[in-house]
Structure 1
Amino acid sequence: MPIEFTHVPGKIHAADASFFYDFVETATKLSLIEDAGFQRIVIDDQAGLLTNMDLAAQTLDRTSSLEVVLTHWAGVIEPTVAARQLAALDARSGGRLSLRMLSEPLSDDDAEARPAGHTVVWQRIDEYLVLLKRLWSNDRPFDHEGAFYSVKGGYVPRKGPHGADVTIRMGGQSGTALRVAGRHADVFELAPGSLAEIRQSMERLRGAAAEHGRAGKLRFALPVRIRTEDRIRSEDRPAASCQKALELAGPPAQVALSLLSYAALGIEEFMIVGVDRPREIATAGREAIALLRNSLARREADAPASGAFASRAIPGPRAEC
């Protein structure tokens, strides 16, 4: 089973500067990230969606293989506008764009029109994604009247290379969130927890996806924060997006062994938080990523009994925010 790695940028020093604060320096780090064995990078800047789109465009222009995971929220811009902009980015990238949909509270205007709540937020995300996919695939204009959006003559003339098959990434733990993710998500970002808790979350999501005939189309990603000795000493802050991640500390070999237990559950992607400095990026690629891939290759070649790799470095999940 191939394992992929996603880089999740965070703060780079105590001054709280964004990973992207100096794009000349960032371009060098992006090259290191590609060379280190990461397949993608998350764009989730604290400045918001429009900044994310600009950073995504710059990142796509300065890389050749990295998939750019653009963090997005329903309700910030109209779906017809978003569909055009995202299709243009996807075309610009040659198909290296994926969309990471997060939940966001309703705006004040929306709250006046209807009671704001968790279920309503996810209902809006559901309708928003339905519209995006329609706009990316339709061959003629259409009208739409829904609970949250009204579209007249909706049409995107220049589709991206993947059309409506842009990879959608989602997360969440409530039954409502899982139902929406089961309908739309290609990649589901898991919450931190014990092996048993994560296995249960995966089973719940597969059940939700099965209702839409999509149980076999899901991939699972797990955010993992790696704490190096330098990071522990400097007491750096977590990522700007307040990314909750399973936390591992120790030498690269120990980290790789710990991740094997999660890979055995069927997790195919690890979202690595906490490796933002050039030396950390290079070390993660040369040691932790390479060691995990080599260990998995040996495991598959030897076909050991299930559960042969037990986690020795995880006393318990730790989420920071």
Structure 2
Amino acid sequence: MASEFIGHTSNREGSDIVPTTGPVIDKTYIRNHVQAAETAGIDRLLIGQFAQWPDNNQIAAYVFSQTERIGALLAHRPGLMQPTLGARQLASLDQFSEGRVWVHIITGGSDADQARDGDFEDHDTRYARTDEYIEVLKKVWESDAPFDHEGRFYKFKGAFSQVKPFQKPRIPISFGGSSDAAIAVAGKHADIYALWGEPLDGTRETIAKVRAAAIQNGRSPDDIRFTLAFRTIVAETEDQAWSNAADILAKVKAGVARQAGGNGEKLPSNVGSVRLREAAKRGKVLDKRLWTEVAEASGAGGNSTALVGTPEQVAEAILDYYDAGISNFLVRGFYPTEDTVTYGRDVVPLVKVGIAERQARKVAAE
């Protein structure tokens, strides 16, 4: 698979610094946002899953109905349903969209949000359950005949689905989680491993761990591709970009003070958030232009580091990650539609040129 450039869509307008507006399901906003992203050249949109959100499968179906080619990176939480049902739901979406689905497995970084849906298992138990869930998921997609399964968490007799994914042999599985338990499961099952925007040294470290886990499971390290999730602050001049960053930081800090804890955890304890906070302690700007102050101010509850600069400077920084082993690049905007369009229109073409040049040099050297 080629590199993909990924954006994000929600059920209505809003972000860290843009107040939430509109109805809980704002069809006009979703339609305008996803069509703008498609026109700007974005390949795929992350659609998250949270206990208080509308059903993200329905959001994905609406996105597909309003676009021609853009795909979904659809978050999916094991433990909230049986894997046989999850397999049929995802395969049905893949058929209706003619192959536009990647499933992004979220085991659960927030204990508070898991509890809202009645999931009180501890961290390592959740990952053990995810391991078995994905095993069944893949078997349902790929089996030509009914099968029985009896494991620690699930038991089925005669499991079978008439609907299979449009994509063959199955829907690509993206996986998130930075703990040792998460990396072990990723090494076994992931086609794509997603990590937040860490500095280059941390990124290389995580890639090496995931590849080692793949080898331990009898897979080639090249079987897994990598997605980096970050923010962008892009302007015509570097000075303007940093001025915009300062304005964003002030708004983030004001929002954190008002919310006093956000999504139920004052300081998220998942390993990915801890790693971003540790990176922020090393400096406000790391590598060429990885800005960490929002991660520090917000507690790093999500992808909260940003690349700041002109389109050329941000593209150069992204290509450094490509050289480190990242193939897919996911941006969530502080200003959702504006930042997504700027990324797709002004930055992505420059990155594609850089990737093409690198690939041409590799072919010439062989």
TM range (shorter): 0.7 to 0.9
Superposed CA deviations along residues 268-300 of structure 1, whole A, max 9, x for unmatched, are: 111111165444333222211122222333455
| Structure 2 CA distance for aligned equivalents of residues 231 and 55 of structure 1 | 31
1:310 maps to what in 2? none
- Distance (whole Å) between structure 1 residues aligned to residue 36 and residue 164 of structure 2: 31
Could you say which structure has the greater relative contact order, defined with CA pairs below 8 angstroms and 6 or more residues apart? 1
Q: How does 1:95-244 map to 2 (within 5 A)?
A: 95-104=99-108, 116-162=121-167, 165-212=170-217, 213-228=219-234, 229=241, 230=244, 232-233=246-247, 235=251, 242-244=301-303
Q: Retained in 1: the 8 A contact 2:140–2:161? A: yes
User: Match of 1:4, as an amino acid?
Assistant: E
Partner residue, 1:71 = 75
- Contact 2:332–2:340 at 8 Å: present in 1 too? no
Q: Distance in 1 between the 2:77 and 2:124 partners?
A: 15
Q: How far apart are 1:109 and its partner, in Å?
A: 7.1
In structure 1, which of residues 291, 294, 300 is the aligned counterpart of residue 353 of structure 2?
294
Aligned to 1:248: 307
Q: Give the equivalent residue in structure 1 for 2:44.
A: 40
Matched, 1:86 2:98: no
The letter for the 2-side match of 1:154 is A
Q: Give the secondary-structure state (helix, strand or coil) at the position aligned to 1:144.
A: strand
CA distance in 1 between counterparts of 2:355 and 2:144 reads 44
Q: Deviations over 1:40-91 (max 9, x none)?
A: 1000154558611110111111122111111011111111211111111111
Contact 2:75 2:106 in 1 (8 A): yes
The farther-off stretch of 207-216 and 41-50 is: 41-50
C-alpha displacement of 1:182? 0.6
Match of 2:283 in 1: none
Which residue of the partner structure matches residue 312 of structure 1?
A: none
Q: 1:62 to 1:214 in 2, by over 3 A?
A: farther
Unpaired segments ≥5 residues, structure 2: 235-240, 257-261, 264-299
110 and 103 in structure 1: CA distance in 2 versus 1, 3 angstrom threshold: closer
Structure 1 residue matching 2:196: 3-state secondary structure: coil
TM-superposition CA deviations, 1:92-135 (whole Å, max 9, x none): 11011111001125769775xxxx43221111000000111111
The alignment's TM-score, normalised by the length of structure 2, stands at 0.73
190 and 76 in structure 1: CA distance in 2 versus 1, 3 angstrom threshold: same
Residue 159 of structure 1 and its aligned partner are, at CA, apart by 1.2
Letter in 1 for 2:6: T
1:24 aligned to 2:41? Answer: no
**Given residue 73 of structure 1, which amino acid in structure 2 is its aligned partner?**
R
Structure 1 pair 281–50 and aligned structure 2 pair: CA distance change class (3 A): closer
Match of 1:53 among 54, 57, 60: 57
Mapped contact 1:66–1:96 kept (Cα < 8 A): yes
Counterpart Cα distance in 1 of 2:20 and 2:170: 36
Q: Which runs of 5+ in 1 are unaligned?
A: 304-321
Q: Write out per-residue CA displacement over residues 199-244 of structure 1, whole angstroms, 9 at most, x where no aligned residue.
A: 1111111111112324221111111111355565252579999422
Secondary structure in 1 aligned to 2:68? coil
Percent of aligned positions that are identical = 30
Q: 1:154 to 1:18 in 2, by over 3 A?
A: farther
CA distance, structure 2, for counterparts of residue 233 and residue 133 of structure 1:
46
Equivalent residue for 1:6? 6
Residue identity in the other structure for 2:231: R
- The farther-off stretch of 256-265 and 230-239 is 230-239
User: 1:148: how far off?
Assistant: 0.7
Q: Distance in 2 between matches of 1:54 and 1:302?
A: 44
Q: Distance in 1 between matches of 2:357 and 2:146?
A: 53
Q: Over aligned residues, Cα RMSD in angstroms?
A: 3.0
Please state how far the C-alpha of 1:302 moved relative to its aligned partner.
6.0
Q: How many angstroms apart in 2 are the aligned matches of 1:2 and 1:283?
A: 21
